[in-house]
Amino acid sequence: MPLSPVKRAFKFRFHPTDAQAVELARTFGCVRKVYNLALAARTEAWARQERVNYNATSAMLTAWKKTEELAFLNDVSSVPLQQTLRHLQSAFTHFFGKRAKYPRFKSRKRSRKSAEYTTSGFRFRDGRLTLAKMTEPLDIVWSRPLPKGAEPSTVTVSQDAAGRWFVSMLCEDPSVQPLPATDSAVGIDVGLDHLLTLSTGEKIANPRHERRDRAALARAQRCLARKAPGNGANRAKARRKVAKIHARIADRRRDGLHKLTTRLVRENQTLVIEDLTVRTMVKNRSLARAISDAAWSEFRSMLEYKASWYGREVIAVDRFFPSSKLCSHCGKLAQSMPLHVRTWTCEGCGTIHDRDVNAAKNLKAAGLAVSVCGAGVRPQRRTPGGQPTTKQKTLRREP
């Protein structure tokens, strides 16, 4: 059954003229100002046990523009200002739905510089994009073509900490269609020695992108630390140098994960992963840097949205499932399995296991059990006689 076209964001670098850079910087500042004013108004209303919605903040924006103090808001396009109010409304919706924390004020130095334009705020003709309040189109570096006949519905302009300018266009991509169904399934165990270990026995090396630039990053950070605090040009130059190294690391990491997740989704119908709490794991001071560099959360996010695009299934097994301690051959559960133990021998059947491959096989078996019959994937509980229950036996079958 054909699905409706998938909406994808196509992100490109662009090089603004001096006038465009000034206009965009002014827009970023106005967007941040309106967001903070609206958040303050809603917070005060919240203290009075009143609710202020998007329509009320939109009326406030009209009133603010008429004041002498905030008359500069009229100098930029009204579209990004309205969009930031919608983003604030979404933030409060997630807060009331207990899916996020209370919204925070945007900082001039730390917050992301961005502005979102809807169709009334830009013109896209013959591959040339012109934003509101601008006379010249943006000089975009077209690193890849947009889908044939695509018309952006939303355009987001941003500038990262390294000073690079980006434009993201949200378009419908009819080329994204479900792939032909297959019978293949794979269990995926993430790690640090190897980024991924598959139930097929394949191990994918951890590129350790941050380690490759660690020395250069340390030098740049020491140089930044020696600069006097404030808004001096030398400190800003040193800060951009640090940001450029971080950007280079993040770009390499993202590129590698995109290629890896695309390959896994194309080759397998069912992908089984472990539901890890990365936010808790990075509190380990000894492993925090390595875990952050591996980007397990970003890997899972990419895997899930690409699976939804191409008609694949991603199953997350409960984090308490003893995938490493459970023998994938006979199902016997080992008493303990310290992290330094990479190979072990099952006391029940004598099979010698590679720790990571065995975990990937168990994840695959548990995921298939959930997919087929809805069996649980919690740690095994034994009856008083020491035998596993019937539901637990479904986890012991071989992949």
Count Cα neighbours of 396 within 13 Å in the Cβ-side half-sphere: 14
Q: How far apart are CA 161 and CA 182, in angstroms?
A: 43
Q: How far apart are CA 271 and CA 188, in angstroms?
A: 7
Q: How far apart are CA 234 and CA 25, in angstroms?
A: 21
Do 186 and 364 touch, CB atoms closer than 8 A?
A: yes
Chain mean position to CA 155: 19
Q: Where in the sequence numbering do the catalytic residues fall? A: 189, 274, 356
Q: Where are the alpha helices (DSSP H) in 187-318?
A: 209-212, 214-226, 233-267, 278-281, 288-294, 296-309
Q: How far apart are CA 338 and CA 332, in angstroms?
A: 17
Do 189 and 274 touch, CB atoms closer than 8 A?
A: yes
Helix (H, G, I), strand (E, B) or coil at 159: strand
